[in-house]
Amino acid sequence: MFSKFATKSPWLFRINTGSCNGCDVELATTALIPRFDVERLGCKYTGSPKHADIVLVTGPITVRSEDYLIRMLDEIPEPKVVVAIGICPISGGIYRDSYSIRGPLDKYVEVDVNVSGCPIRPQSILDGVAQAIVIWKDKIKQFHEA
């Protein structure tokens, strides 16, 4: 639990739940290319879910990724913001009727921001992260008031 006086930049954590990697390539663009740099919004990527504030989920939830998704979501501390990147975590995308798809992301966790597209554009990812930051700040205020 952090102090009422603590302020920090939001840390991002990415979970791939079986994507075709189209959205992951675009996520790399927002992290690595100065034109779409997500760090200009004050964000940093983290390799640990225990340090994350905002989680970015790509891909449909597959049979093989379901346990991993649940375990990672449980490790992310509250208050967290969940962002579905691409159409696959929102609805299953073109894979939704497959035998190996468990369902959309909102079956497992409350999704705060949906960023649709296939593949998603870097500008849309930045917009979604900007929305997530606003939601995260509001959740922090509510968390401290409780």
* pLDDT tens digits for range 66-116: 999 999 999 999 999 999 999 999 999 999 899 999 989 999 999 999 999
Alpha-carbon torsion angle 7, 48, 72, 10, nearest 10: 20
Walk across the sheet containing 81-85 and list its strands.
44-45, 11-16, 54-58, 81-85, 113-115
Section 37-53 average pLDDT? 89
pLDDT for 11: 94
The pTM (predicted TM-score) of the whole model is 0.90
Cα distance between residue 56 and residue 128, in whole Å: 10
Counting residues of the chain whose pLDDT is more than 70, the rounded percentage is 92
Q: Is the pLDDT of residue 5 over 50?
A: no
**Confidence band, pLDDT 50/70/90 cuts, at residue 1:** very low
**Confidence band, pLDDT 50/70/90 cuts, at residue 119:** confident
pLDDT for 8: 77
Beta bridge partners of 114: 84
Segments making up each domain of the chain, as ranges: 11-145
CA 77: distance to chain centroid?
14
Please name the fold of domain 11-145: Rossmann fold (3.40.50)
First to last CA, the chain: 13
pLDDT for 7: 62
Place of tokens 């696959």: 88
Task: Assess contact for 89 and 17: CB atoms under 8 A.
Answer: yes
Residue (of 129, 106, 144) closest to 13 by Cα position? 129
CB atoms within 10 A of CB 109: 17
3-state helix, strand, coil in the chain (%, to 5): 45, 20, 35
